[in-house]
Chains A and B, each alone.
Chain A
Amino acid sequence: MTIQAVFYARSSDKGDDIDISVFAHQGAAYQWLLNELTVQRVEDFFTPMGIAGVDRYPVPGLLAIKFVIHHALDGGGAHSLRADNQGKTWSGALLRYALERWDNSTG
Chain B
Amino acid sequence: MDRVRVGGGTGFYGDTFMPALDMMRAAAVDYLCFEDLAELTLAILQKDRAKNPLQGYTKDLIPMLEAGLDIALKNHIRIITNAGGLNPQAATQAVAQLTRRLGLPLKIATVTGDGILEELQQFLPFAHMETGQPLSAQVHGRALFANVYLGARPIVHALQAGADLVITGRVADPSLFLAPLVHHFGWDWEDWDRIALGTVVGHLLECSSQVTGGNHGGDWETIEGLDAIGFPIAEVCRDDEVIITKLSGSGGRVDVDTVREQLLYEIHDPHAYLTPDVAVDVTGARLEQVGRNRVRVSGIRGAQRPAQYKALLGYADGYMGQGMMGYSWPDALKKAQATDAILRRQFARLHLPIEEIRSDYLGYNSLHGPLARTQASDDLNEVYLRLAVRTQDKRTAEQVSRLMVPLALGGPPTASGLIGVDRVRALTGIWPSLVDRHAVDAQVSVTVEEVLP
Q: Is the CB of A48 within 8 A of B283?
A: no
In the assembled complex, how far is the CB of residue B260 from the closest CB belonging to chain A, in whole angstroms? 5
Residue among B218, B267, B430 making CB contact with A79, cutoff 8 Å: B430
Q: Is the CB of B358 within 8 A of A76?
A: no
Residue among B39, B287, B314 making CB contact with A14, cutoff 8 Å: B39
Q: How far is the CA of A30 from the CA of B140 in the complex (A)?
A: 47
Q: Is the CB of B317 within 8 A of A79?
A: yes
> Which B residue's beta carbon lies closest to that of A46?
B371
Query: What residues of chain B lie closer than 8 Å to A28, measured between beta carbons?
Result: none
Interface residues of A in 8-54 (CB under 8 A from B): 8-10, 12-17, 19, 21, 23, 45-46, 48-49
Q: How far is the CA of A49 from the CA of B368 in the complex (A)?
A: 9
In the assembled complex, how far is the CB of residue B439 from the closest CB belonging to chain A, in whole angstroms? 23
In the assembled complex, how far is the CB of residue A56 from the closest CB belonging to chain B, in whole angstroms? 11
What 0/1 pattern do residues 71 to 96 of A give for CB contact below 8 A with B?
Answer: 00001111101111000010111011
* Interface of A (DSSP majority class): mixed
Q: Which of B268-276, B337-345, B412-420 contacts A (4 or more CB under 8 A)?
A: B268-276
- A19-B267, A57-B270, A62-B285 known; A10+B261 contact, CB < 8 A: yes
Query: What residues of chain A lie closer than 8 Å to B390, measured between beta carbons?
Result: 81
Q: How far is the CA of A89 from the CA of B326 in the complex (A)?
A: 22
Q: Is the CB of A75 within 8 A of B430?
A: yes
The yes or no answer to B403 lying at the interface (CB within 8 A) is no
Q: How far is the CA of A66 from the CA of B264 in the complex (A)?
A: 8
Residue among B39, B284, B386, B388 making CB contact with A77, cutoff 8 Å: B39
In the assembled complex, how far is the CB of residue B324 from the closest CB belonging to chain A, in whole angstroms? 10
Q: How far is the CA of A78 from the CA of B319 in the complex (A)?
A: 10
Q: How far is the CA of A59 from the CA of B287 in the complex (A)?
A: 13
In the assembled complex, how far is the CB of residue A46 from the closest CB belonging to chain B, in whole angstroms? 7
Q: Is the CB of B286 within 8 A of A79?
A: no
The yes or no answer to B329 lying at the interface (CB within 8 A) is no
Interface size classification for chain A: 35 or more
Query: What residues of chain B lie closer than 8 Å to A92, measured between beta carbons?
Result: 367-368
The yes or no answer to A107 lying at the interface (CB within 8 A) is no
Query: What residues of chain A lie closer than 8 Å to B360, measured between beta carbons?
Result: 83
Query: What residues of chain A lie closer than 8 Å to B267, measured between beta carbons?
Result: 19, 66
Q: How far is the CA of A45 from the CA of B267 in the complex (A)?
A: 22
> Which A residue's beta carbon lies closest to that of B360?
A83
The yes or no answer to B97 lying at the interface (CB within 8 A) is no
The yes or no answer to B266 lying at the interface (CB within 8 A) is yes
Query: What residues of chain A lie closer than 8 Å to B427, measured between beta carbons?
Result: 78-79
Query: What residues of chain B lie closer than 8 Å to A49, measured between beta carbons?
Result: 369-371
Q: How far is the CA of A8 from the CA of B389 in the complex (A)?
A: 34
Q: Is the CB of A19 within 8 A of B270?
A: no
Residue among A9, A61, A95 making CB contact with B286, cutoff 8 Å: A61
- A57-B269, A59-B283 known; A83+B264 contact, CB < 8 A: no
Q: Is the CB of B429 within 8 A of A79?
A: yes
> Which B residue's beta carbon lies closest to that of A9?
B217
Q: How far is the CA of A57 from the CA of B40 in the complex (A)?
A: 26
Q: Is the CB of A62 within 8 A of B287?
A: yes
Query: What residues of chain B lie closer than 8 Å to A81, measured between beta carbons?
Result: 320, 322, 356, 358, 388-390
Q: Is the CB of A75 within 8 A of B261?
A: no
Residue among B260, B271, B358 making CB contact with A57, cutoff 8 Å: B271
What 0/1 pattern do residues 193 to 226 of B give for CB contact below 8 A with A?
Answer: 0000000000000000000000111111000000
Q: Is the CB of B261 within 8 A of A45?
A: no
- A59-B264, A66-B264 known; A45+B257 contact, CB < 8 A: no
Q: Is the CB of A78 within 8 A of B428?
A: yes
Q: Is the CB of B219 within 8 A of A4?
A: yes
Q: Is the CB of A12 within 8 A of B266?
A: yes
Residue among B39, B265, B269, B368 making CB contact with A93, cutoff 8 Å: B368
Q: How far is the CA of A51 from the CA of B360 in the complex (A)?
A: 18
- A12-B265, A89-B368 known; A78+B257 contact, CB < 8 A: no
Q: What is A's interface to B at a CB cutoff of 8 Å?
A: 2, 4-5, 8-10, 12-17, 19, 21, 23, 45-46, 48-49, 55, 57, 59, 61-62, 64, 66, 68, 75-79, 81-84, 89, 91-93, 95-97
Further contacts, 20 of them, CB under 8 A, given A66-B267, A97-B371: A14-B266, A15-B130, A15-B432, A19-B268, A23-B217, A23-B257, A46-B371, A48-B369, A49-B370, A59-B283, A61-B284, A61-B299, A64-B260, A66-B269, A75-B317, A75-B430, A76-B39, A77-B39, A79-B317, A92-B367
A-B contact pairs, 18 of them (CB 8 A): A8-B219, A14-B266, A15-B39, A16-B130, A19-B267, A23-B261, A62-B285, A64-B260, A66-B264, A66-B267, A66-B268, A77-B39, A78-B43, A79-B317, A81-B358, A81-B390, A82-B358, A83-B360
For the complex of A and B, list the 8 residue pairs with the smallest distance between their C-beta atoms, beginning with the closest. A48-B370, A8-B217, A78-B428, A8-B218, A21-B264, A81-B388, A81-B358, A89-B367
